[in-house]
Every structure is written in structure tokens, then in C-alpha cells.
A and B are shown apart, each in its own frame.
Chain A
């Protein structure tokens, strides 16, 4: 039933499933589409297409895999008047995202001190489950974090003013309202500010191993053999609880608004409804928490570099959200229109000239950061006009998991994993042994293949490839 359009695009026609109101589209090559068809991804893309008031297509990026309600790697845009907002369409880890920092060092400069640097980062940045942050802020101060995001962190001395321009939405999404963030969410969040978390979240020291677009890379502040740092983290328990709270409220709301969904995890309400508006204001508050979180970890990373290497200058290349819903202007049926774009495991990929980009990036386009898995490469890409035309300015967000945690753990021992990482000259520190094996490199899809599809389809272009040299896992 999938209709292949070209080597990278597959349409799910409306006839595929009863109730589909728009088409679905999956970005994948022939090999990946076979993998994607093995799980529920296609069904989930079709399920999303049944939600009221969506425009364009229900999309799945090439890193797509089965999620809850929406697939991971899913993108969908809703009409602000007729459409719905779905907490499941953003996911539990609101504004889980990545931030890339460019250092002044080349690989050879730091080799001798790499272990010491990793140990220092491990001491300075709290990671792992249950870990408390280094500053226990008062709950009323937390409201300022939710309102101001990364800007709050910079005001507190965690960073400098110029950091802000290199964060999506300048690190502070407007219209946040802490009033709609429950006390439970605040309880889960206030002691976790500035913590990495566990699971697939990480901080990696990487080296730029290849450059594909010299001009763009230079403009992003990247060159071959340079040491960079990639931080992957989100809104921690605060964001998880916001999603949980509104999934619950939306279960009740659907009864009131007469909406029925094929999967309860797709719970949604009209954007204009009271619950819809409250969710959106709570969700952006959680997103701002995540921006502040990554900003604080950036500060401690700089301090660790300063202490061990004598130079803590690390410039933010960019910081992107993976899980978010945002009002943006896009062309729909030939007309410019404001829509609410849900991205769940997808990255904004705006092209050059877009007014949302800071002036210094406007001649090149938005950096799109694609983390791989521990032991494999990551990529920096740049957004394109093509993405604006067909994916609401979106691209993929990572490798995408290919193997369950249990299988990953059963297939490899920690010793085997460490041997493999040693053979690649990658240092690793993790909070737990089992956590490391669950994140082994081949538990993920081949990130290079994912990036080739994105590049081939033209929804982002390759700029640079990064290889890990030291990995810190929660």
C-alpha cells in the first residue's frame, strides 16, 4: 500500500486506513523502509493522519521508529483554528534536544589530558537517575526559569549574553505560563535543574573528522580536527510530568469535545480549547526549563575545560529542540499560513534567509545537529528551502533505536563493550554498567544512512561529520 515516489519518499495514501484525513509520508531508502515496516511506525503515521484539523501530510523522518501514539521521528502541523494539539505529539521529554559547543582546541592538543577532562566533567555535571542538581533553587525561583529559559541561566552567571543568539528561539519560547505547570511537575524539576539524566542522554567530546561544505562549516565555527562537545538532554522530570498531567487532562477533554482517537496515547484537544491553551503554555515553560538545563551544563563544561586545559572558551554552534510544538509560518496549499508544528523526535531545519535565524546565520541556514550513538559518528547539517516546502522546515533528529534495551544488554557484556570502545580510542564513563550496554552503538540505526536519506531528499545538507573521543553517559 506504500506508494514509492522516489528513492527517498514513500506515500501512505488516505485509503490505507479508515478515517485518514490527510496522506502520510515516510522518508526512507529501500533498505530502511523494510526495517520501518517491521514495527508500528507506518500505522502510527497513518493514525496521526486521522487527527482533526491537520494540514499538509503526516510525516516520518528517516530515523523514525515505533513510539507511543506518534512515532518517534514524526512531524505534523495543525490549523490553529480547526486543529488539535496533542501532548503525545510532543512526547514526554519536552524539548529534549542537542547543543553543540566548539572549542579552541585541536584533537592532538588534548589527547594527553582527555581522561582527566572526562573525569572532571563527570564530577562537575550531575548525571544518572535520582541525581540532584548542584543548586537547589527555591520553587518560586523555578517560575523564573520556566519564563526565561536559557536567559535566566545567563542572568545567573551560567554563560554569556552572546550564547543566546545561538539557541533555537533564543533559548526562551514566549507565552510560557508557570501557573499551568503543576506543583508535582515543579517538585520533580526543581532539584533536577542542571542534570544530564540517564538513558540515551549524554555528553560527548568529539572531533570534527570531515567537512562537506567548507564555507558553511567555517561560518558555524567548525574546522577539521577541532574538538567539539555535544550535549543531549531534556526537561527532566518536570517536562515528563507536564506531559503526563496533560495526557490525563486530554483524556477527559476528548470526551467533552467529542473527539475519539484510534490510540489513547494520541489524546488531543482543540488548540483553541482551555486545555489546549493551558497545555501549550505549560509545554513551552517545560521547554524553557530544558534550555536552562543545557545552558547550565554548558557553563560547567566550560569550567571543566578551563580547569584541565587552561582554556574554557567554548562557543555555542547551535542548540535545537527535538520534542516540541510551535507556531510557525508555512506555505500550505500555496498560501502562507500560521500552523502549529508538532515535532516528536525531529529537528527544525530552517533555510538561509529565514527571519527566525540570528543575523549571523541568516546567510547560511540553521545548523541541524544529528547525534549518533556512543561509538559512532554524529553530523552537523544545515536547513534547506526544500524542507520548508515539504516538511514544515523539519529534518531528522538522530539515529533512532533499532534494538530493545533488554536485547542490547543480553547481547553484549560491559567488558566486551569497553574493549570495542578502546579499540576505537573512545573513553567512556557511565553511571551504571547496565546503562552502558543498553546504549551500545549497534543498538541504534546507522546514523550515516539516516543522514544520507535526509541529504539525498534535500531536507537538510551535510556540513560536517563528528567522531566521539570521550563519552559521558547518565
Chain B
């Protein structure tokens, strides 16, 4: 299956269902999904790169930490990520390069605040050919 994401409905908030041939691709697609909720990603250029290393107790916590890290880059450092490349991924470790640029109000079409990434109905499912993950965000 081609890597991609869809936005899921929730009575109060929003979720993302992301798919990839590998777990790493699914993680990357989940990140794209989250940024697409926050703003129009097509308005962001790849001007700068950030490298991140994360460690967690299990894979679900790692997924939450991954998306939380991206949210922090945007909300805490005003850096708008637009492309994601995971270099290494295990059950407890993640290394990635993230491209994007500094936030400019007049250039980037922002849409919604994402408050946080939740464990609510979080799931990671492996099949023969692909990986599908579901994660819900607090809006």
C-alpha cells in the first residue's frame, strides 16, 4: 500500500490514521498528518534541518513522543516542519531528520492549534505488507 494518512473524526477532537510499508514510514505519515491539521503544509519550504533522537519505554510511548517533539518544534521553537525522514527506529529509540523553516505569519496559512498527542485508542497494527497506526490529538 502507498504510504499516506487520513484524518479521523472524533466527537471533540481529531485523529490520524497513517499507513506505510514500514513502521518508520507510518511514523513519518503520522507526522505529516498532524502538520496538515495545524497548517497548509504546501506553504512551507525546506530551508533548514533539525536532527532529533528520542528514547521511550515502549513503541506506543515512542509514537506519542515523536509527535510531541514535532509539536514542540512548531509551538515552542516556531519551526515549521514539512518533511520527515526517520533514520533509525526500534521499539524504544528513534533518530530522524526534519526539514522545514521558521514560522512566518504572513506566509504560512495556519489553521488549528493542536494541544497535545494522546494515548486514547492509540494502536499500531502490522500486516504482511504494511503498518497502520492510529493516534488521536487534543485540539
Binding site for B on A (CB under 8 A): 39, 65-69, 72, 91-93, 128-132, 184, 187-188, 191, 197-199, 237, 240-241, 243-244, 247-248, 251-252, 255, 263-265, 267, 401-407, 431-432, 434-435, 438, 474
- Chain B residues contacting A132 (CB-CB under 8 Å) are 105
CB pair A265–B57 under 8 Å, yes or no, is: no
- Chain A residues contacting B95 (CB-CB under 8 Å) are none
- Chain A residues contacting B118 (CB-CB under 8 Å) are 68, 265
Q: Which of B77, B105, B111 contacts A434 (CB 8 A)?
A: B111
* Complex Cα spacing A405 to B12, Å: 7
- Say whether B110 faces chain A, with CB atoms less than 8 Å apart: yes
CB pair B112–A265 under 8 Å, yes or no, is: no
Residue of A nearest to B64 (CB): A248
- Say whether B136 faces chain A, with CB atoms less than 8 Å apart: yes
> Shortest CB–CB separation between residue A410 and chain B, in angstroms?
10
CB pair A252–B57 under 8 Å, yes or no, is: yes
- Chain B residues contacting A255 (CB-CB under 8 Å) are 57
- Chain A residues contacting B65 (CB-CB under 8 Å) are 248
Q: 0/1 per residue, B37-49, Cβ < 8 Å to A?
A: 0110000000000
CB pair A131–B105 under 8 Å, yes or no, is: yes
Q: 0/1 per residue, B94-117, Cβ < 8 Å to A?
A: 000000000101001111110111
CB pair A130–B139 under 8 Å, yes or no, is: no
Q: Which of B38-84 contact A (CB under 8 A)?
A: 38-39, 57, 60-61, 64-65, 68, 72, 74-78
Task: List the 4 closest A-B pairs by CB distance, nearest first.
Answer: A187-B76, A404-B9, A264-B119, A68-B120
* Complex Cα spacing A170 to B76, Å: 29
CB pair B115–A240 under 8 Å, yes or no, is: yes
Interchain Cβ contacts under 8 Å between A and B, 24 examples:
A129-B38, A130-B38, A130-B103, A130-B105, A132-B105, A187-B72, A187-B76, A188-B72, A191-B78, A199-B112, A237-B76, A237-B115, A241-B75, A244-B117, A248-B64, A248-B65, A255-B57, A263-B120, A264-B122, A265-B120, A267-B119, A406-B14, A432-B109, A432-B112
- Say whether B7 faces chain A, with CB atoms less than 8 Å apart: yes
* Complex Cα spacing A262 to B94, Å: 27
* Complex Cα spacing A431 to B120, Å: 29
* Complex Cα spacing A128 to B136, Å: 21
> Shortest CB–CB separation between residue B94 and chain A, in angstroms?
15
- Say whether B125 faces chain A, with CB atoms less than 8 Å apart: no
CB pair B110–A128 under 8 Å, yes or no, is: yes
Residue of B nearest to A434 (CB): B111
- Chain A residues contacting B10 (CB-CB under 8 Å) are 66, 404
CB pair B12–A67 under 8 Å, yes or no, is: yes
Residue of B nearest to A402 (CB): B11
Q: Which of B57, B60, B76, B113 contacts A241 (CB 8 A)?
A: B76
- Chain A residues contacting B11 (CB-CB under 8 Å) are 39, 65-66, 401-404
* Complex Cα spacing A148 to B7, Å: 40
CB pair A405–B111 under 8 Å, yes or no, is: no
- Chain B residues contacting A68 (CB-CB under 8 Å) are 13, 118-120, 136, 138
CB pair B76–A188 under 8 Å, yes or no, is: yes
- Chain B residues contacting A199 (CB-CB under 8 Å) are 112-113, 115, 139
CB pair B12–A65 under 8 Å, yes or no, is: yes
* Complex Cα spacing A243 to B38, Å: 20
Please indicate which of the listed interface residues B11, B38, B39 has the most CB atoms of chain A within 10 Å of its own CB.
Answer: B11
Instruction: Decide yes or no: A237 and B14 within 8 Å by CB, A199-B112, A406-B9, A407-B9 being known contacts.
Output: no
Residue of B nearest to A410 (CB): B9
Given contacts A199-B112, A403-B11, could you give 9 more A-B pairs where the C-beta distance is less than 8 Å? A68-B118, A93-B138, A188-B75, A237-B115, A240-B138, A264-B60, A401-B11, A404-B9, A405-B139
Instruction: Decide yes or no: A435 and B9 within 8 Å by CB, A68-B118, A265-B118, A406-B14 being known contacts.
Output: no
- Chain A residues contacting B112 (CB-CB under 8 Å) are 129, 198-199, 432, 435, 438
> Shortest CB–CB separation between residue B59 and chain A, in angstroms?
13
> Shortest CB–CB separation between residue B77 and chain A, in angstroms?
7
* Complex Cα spacing A198 to B110, Å: 10
Residue of B nearest to A251 (CB): B61
* Complex Cα spacing A88 to B98, Å: 29
Residue of B nearest to A247 (CB): B119
CB pair B77–A187 under 8 Å, yes or no, is: yes
- Chain B residues contacting A128 (CB-CB under 8 Å) are 110
* Complex Cα spacing A184 to B74, Å: 11
- Chain B residues contacting A264 (CB-CB under 8 Å) are 60, 119, 122
* Complex Cα spacing A373 to B22, Å: 43
CB pair A92–B115 under 8 Å, yes or no, is: yes
Instruction: Decide yes or no: A130 and B108 within 8 Å by CB, A69-B120, A187-B72, A265-B118 being known contacts.
Output: yes
- Chain B residues contacting A244 (CB-CB under 8 Å) are 68, 116-117
* Complex Cα spacing A72 to B138, Å: 12
- Chain B residues contacting A93 (CB-CB under 8 Å) are 115, 138
Instruction: Decide yes or no: A248 and B61 within 8 Å by CB, A129-B113, A404-B11 being known contacts.
Output: yes
Residue of A nearest to B74 (CB): A130
Q: Which of B14, B64, B110, B138 contacts A129 (CB 8 A)?
A: B110
* Complex Cα spacing A248 to B138, Å: 16
- Chain B residues contacting A67 (CB-CB under 8 Å) are 12
* Complex Cα spacing A188 to B72, Å: 7
